[in-house]
Structure 1
Amino acid sequence: MLFNSFEFILFFLIVISIYFILPYRLRWVLLLASSYYFYMAWKPEYVLLIIFSTIVDYLVSRRMGQVKEKKKRKKYLFISLLTNLGLLIFFKYAFFISESLNGVFSTFNITYPLPTNFSIILPMGISFYTFQTLSYTIDVYRGKIKPEKHFGVFALYVSFFPQLVAGPIERSDRLIPQFYKKHKFDLKRIGDGLKLMLVGFFKKLVIADRVAMVVNHIYNQPSEFEGLYLVIATLLFGFQILCDFSGYSDIAIGTAKVLGIDLMTNFKSPYFATSIKDFWKRWHISLSTWFKDYVYIPLGGNRVKLPRMYFNLFVTFLISGLWHGANWNFVIWGGLHGCYQIIGNITKPIKDKIINLLKLNRLPFILPFIQRVVTFALVTFAWIFFRANTFEDARYIISHLLVDIELWLNSGYVYDVGIDLGVTLTEVVMIILSIMVLLMIEWFGRKESIHLRLLRTHFIIRWAFYYLLIIMVFTMGVFYDGSEFIYFQF
């Protein structure tokens, strides 16, 4: 069931109508049943995987709470890791591992290839709910939290439908206590949630799904294009993935808020970041903090010698890339971001000297502008590997990006490119206008939520903004495609 579908709107209206009628003690039952139904609307039998992981993690965490010896607690943690990561590896990486090993075998003329004809459908959101439940068992093992006694509430934590298939990846000490609170019917809170959902629908329906038409037209057959075509498609993919994923997060957070549940902020205007490090403090925050707490710090973090710290950083980003998909392009994408940060740290003294020499630190607007442009360019370049269907496609795109660059200022050439992007000229104008509105939202929301900023403005300005989004959604939104969110595949 997609957020951008009539079925979800109907489902959501039914859930919230019953939710506020039910006694507090029974609401978890409704939310749990709704969450399982929400997931089963995609593929019913795969809900058994969620239930199995839930039962295993509930039992091992309860047992860890009863055992004081660290060695015995580690045994139960191992069961959780083996179960959850085993399922994740089997369903998501079996083909990738087999194909990669076959490539190695063929190099050494080994004649016993592993099978690659897997017909396994990747369970929607398995990477998200696996990481969510793993954070719980690891925190119980560390003694950071006590194991949850109520099985139903724990099951709801694992499967809460707004963030089940694409996050945010919530921590148990933040989410579980909220299921015990008595959430009253609050028009202001419901209104705040609906406003968040509206922005999410604007990002997804008006920008991401229309921009996808251009990106797919070019990236699915890149060898037929070069130069400005590839540049435009790459830039637009940057906006597509931002709007697709942050749009999902906005809808998820807004949906939960209507129910009285606060989910963590997952995006903070990432394209206005002034460095790659700053970018990862703003992009997919729930995942980047997960890798920091459960991969980077356990490897030693920055409490080790500099070469080891850089190793820890690079490995963390490689794993992050692999988490996104069973494809070497994702590994390269993650590795690039790791290299960006390492090079950024190494060259920091040189950059500081240049800034002081040119006295750029005395120009409060120029320096951040340059930093943002450079960061955006680096992030956009890395997106090529993320979006390209194959490594060969990525290599072709990179090698043909700057072809005919001398024509880019020729208005006739630019017009010819504009009418050959796989969409009509009217849709090109829609894309430009909607991205301008997005940049305004991102700019004013870079330090705090755009909704909080609007609360301090005159009500006419505030409601003019929301009515503008409503009009754009209904007049410019792409409704006929019903496309999935990009991160559903992860």
Structure 2
Amino acid sequence: MLFNSLDFALFLPIVFILYWFVFRDSLKSQNFLIVITSYFFYGWWDWRFLALIGFSTLIDFAVGVRLDKVEGRFKRKSLLILSLLVNIGFLGFFKYYNFFLDNFITAFTFFGMPIKANSLNIILPVGISFYTFQTMSYSIDVYRKRLTATRDFIAFSAFVSFFPQLVAGPIERATNLLPQFFEKRKFDYFMAKNGLRQILWGLFKKVVIADNCAEYANMIFNNSTEYQGSTLILGALFFTFQIYGDFSGYSDIAIGTARLFGFNLMQNFAFPYFSRDIAEFWRRWHISLTTWFRDYVYIPLGGSKVGTFLQIRNVFVIFIISGFWHGANWTFIAWGALNAIYFIPLLIFGKNRQNIEIVAVGKKLPCFREVLSILGTFALTVFSWIFFRAENMSHALSYVFGIFSEGLFAIPDFSVFPGAITLLIFIVAFMFVEWKGRVGEYGISEMHLISNKAYRWSIYVFIILIIDVFGNTSEEIEFIYFQF
């Protein structure tokens, strides 16, 4: 079920009414309702994959209970390995089986030993990369004794399947989200208003920015050999704002929806395109995944407490795994490796943590040096997104070579892209609002501070009108990260 669909527009108020008016006096009933509606929400795509979530939930619940009972290191580690094997096994089979098989065949053919093997027509379950990582973090935290295992199967099932963030995050930690299922929840009017405000901003990002950018990005990337360099740059820019508007828009809607039910999810994006270096960018982009890899992979490898060579190795491991997490394609691995290359100089010179605070905090505009840093970081990010968007490595390289060919400095022919100039104006206005709201959790999070109620509501109505008039609402376009 898509957030930007009529189905969800009907589903959400029904669940909301049942949750707050029918089951409000029973915490267990509320949690049970969340499980049922979350399974319904996920099963709307394909009910057959509900068994995967159910089995993963059952395994990790049982592993957690056993981990709390046994003390021997061997037994505890065996239980953790069982959890990891089940979750990574599901992920590996559905997402990477054909990738490894095809590359295995290619490698043997290259060395003159062709083999025959049949690939499988595997459907990738929506959101499998997200909920498997969420359940794995629970088992790891219980194993490390950072968390006491729960014996409430309903609450744990609700934690795993919570519909707002089930299919595209944020990837929640059990230490943050799971305890909230044991706390008596009372309807908070101000929290709900904040949630609705964030949902509104997320919808604007998705249907006005992302979906309209997708139209032109697809047109240019799918026919890249027909366009000159400046137009290819334009295509990369459109994709840059498409993926940000799409993914951060989903996160905004998910976090806002969770607030309607009294839950606080972690912030997943913190205005990453205002970053002054790549290290800062990765502290602000897809925060739930970045911190997951930091805590469960990077730090166990030694993190930054080892020698320079091993630090560099750790950085490459993290970024390449992150790229591979996104999809079974060499383009994602190249994207991850490219970001590692961006990051390494900052690490070597000890500047990877020099930009921790919000840029130009307390100021209306950044200084000249900050402007150059932001533009430089943004340019590197745009370039790396080419590999993320390309169909394969050949396409990515031809696209890059095409940029630096004839016509790099020519003005794109906007007559071929009707409406593109209007969209660019919307992007500029969108980034202006994001800049003004960068100290908050999302672009318009501080809107409630406007004392003039009529003025404040006129802004909300204006955003709704923009969504209605300029939003790409003629079709329900899936979110990009559903494929991951």
Partner of 1:418: 414
Q: Which of 72, 75, 92 lines up with 2:75 in the alignment?
A: 72
Query: Is the 8 Å Cα contact of residues 91 and 122 (structure 1) preserved in structure 2?
Result: yes
Distance in 1, Cα, partners of 2:350 & 2:138: 37
For the residue of structure 1 that corresponds to 2:466, the secondary structure is helix
- Give the CA deviation at 1:296: 0.5
Identical-pair percentage: 44
Distance in 2, Cα, partners of 1:264 & 1:66: 30
- Give the CA deviation at 1:139: 0.3
Partner of 1:481: 475
1:231 is the counterpart of 2:233: yes
Partner of 2:458: 464
Query: Is the 8 Å Cα contact of residues 194 and 445 (structure 2) preserved in structure 1?
Result: no
- Give the CA deviation at 1:223: 1.5
Distance in 1, Cα, partners of 2:436 & 2:324: 33
Query: Is the 8 Å Cα contact of residues 129 and 159 (structure 1) preserved in structure 2?
Result: yes
- Give the CA deviation at 1:452: 4.3
Aligned positions of 1:285-364 closer than 5 A? 285-346=287-348
Query: Is the 8 Å Cα contact of residues 269 and 445 (structure 1) preserved in structure 2?
Result: no
Query: Is the 8 Å Cα contact of residues 206 and 245 (structure 2) preserved in structure 1?
Result: yes
Distance in 2, Cα, partners of 1:172 & 1:441: 33
Query: Is the 8 Å Cα contact of residues 32 and 152 (structure 1) preserved in structure 2?
Result: yes
Q: Which of 44, 68, 83 lines up with 1:41 in the alignment?
A: 44
Q: Which of 109, 114, 118 lines up with 2:117 in the alignment?
A: 114
Letter in 1 for 2:200: L
Distance 1:248 1:34, change over 3 A: same
Distance in 2, Cα, partners of 1:177 & 1:149: 12
- Give the CA deviation at 1:191: 1.4
Query: Is the 8 Å Cα contact of residues 229 and 408 (structure 2) preserved in structure 1?
Result: no
- Give the CA deviation at 1:343: 2.3
For the residue of structure 2 that corresponds to 1:419, the secondary structure is helix
Partner of 1:87: 90
Distance in 2, Cα, partners of 1:208 & 1:454: 22
Query: Is the 8 Å Cα contact of residues 39 and 50 (structure 2) preserved in structure 1?
Result: yes
For the residue of structure 2 that corresponds to 1:12, the secondary structure is helix
Distance in 1, Cα, partners of 2:399 & 2:408: 18
Q: Which of 26, 31, 38 lines up with 1:28 in the alignment?
A: 31
Number of aligned residue pairs: 467
Distance in 2, Cα, partners of 1:364 & 1:380: 21
1:440 is the counterpart of 2:426: no
- Give the CA deviation at 1:181: 2.2
Aligned positions of 1:4-15 closer than 5 A? 4-15=4-15
1:158 is the counterpart of 2:148: no
Partner of 2:172: 170
Aligned positions of 1:363-382 closer than 5 A? 365-382=367-384
- Give the CA deviation at 1:164: 0.2
Letter in 1 for 2:426: S
Partner of 2:359: none
Query: Is the 8 Å Cα contact of residues 226 and 397 (structure 1) preserved in structure 2?
Result: no
Distance 1:319 1:407, change over 3 A: closer
- Give the CA deviation at 1:455: 3.2
Q: Under a length normalisation based on structure 2, what TM-score does the superposition of the two structures give? A: 0.94
Letter in 2 for 1:258: L
Distance in 1, Cα, partners of 2:267 & 2:231: 34
Query: Is the 8 Å Cα contact of residues 70 and 76 (structure 2) preserved in structure 1?
Result: yes
Partner of 2:285: 283
Partner of 2:263: 261
Q: Which of 448, 456, 476 lines up with 1:455 in the alignment?
A: 448
Query: Is the 8 Å Cα contact of residues 46 and 123 (structure 1) preserved in structure 2?
Result: yes
- Give the CA deviation at 1:468: 2.0
Query: Is the 8 Å Cα contact of residues 228 and 408 (structure 2) preserved in structure 1?
Result: no
Distance in 2, Cα, partners of 1:320 & 1:137: 20
For the residue of structure 2 that corresponds to 1:219, the secondary structure is helix
For the residue of structure 1 that corresponds to 2:168, the secondary structure is coil
Q: Which of 41, 57, 60 lines up with 2:60 in the alignment?
A: 57
- Give the CA deviation at 1:68: 1.2
Distance in 2, Cα, partners of 1:407 & 1:125: 41
Partner of 1:360: none
1:129 is the counterpart of 2:125: no
Distance 1:167 1:69, change over 3 A: same
For the residue of structure 1 that corresponds to 2:446, the secondary structure is helix
Single out whichever of 398-407 and 33-42 deviates more from structure 2: 398-407
Query: Is the 8 Å Cα contact of residues 108 and 114 (structure 2) preserved in structure 1?
Result: yes
Query: Is the 8 Å Cα contact of residues 314 and 335 (structure 1) preserved in structure 2?
Result: yes
Aligned positions of 1:398-409 closer than 5 A? 398-405=400-407, 408=410
- Give the CA deviation at 1:226: 2.3
Query: Is the 8 Å Cα contact of residues 444 and 453 (structure 1) preserved in structure 2?
Result: no
Q: Deviations over 1:200-243 (max 9, x none)?
A: 00000111111111011111121122211101000110000000
Partner of 1:246: 248
Distance in 1, Cα, partners of 2:326 & 2:408: 37
Partner of 2:151: 149
Distance in 2, Cα, partners of 1:160 & 1:364: 39
Distance in 2, Cα, partners of 1:315 & 1:439: 33
Q: Deviations over 1:134-168 (max 9, x none)?
A: 00000000010010110011011111000000000
Distance in 1, Cα, partners of 2:469 & 2:217: 22
Partner of 1:357: none
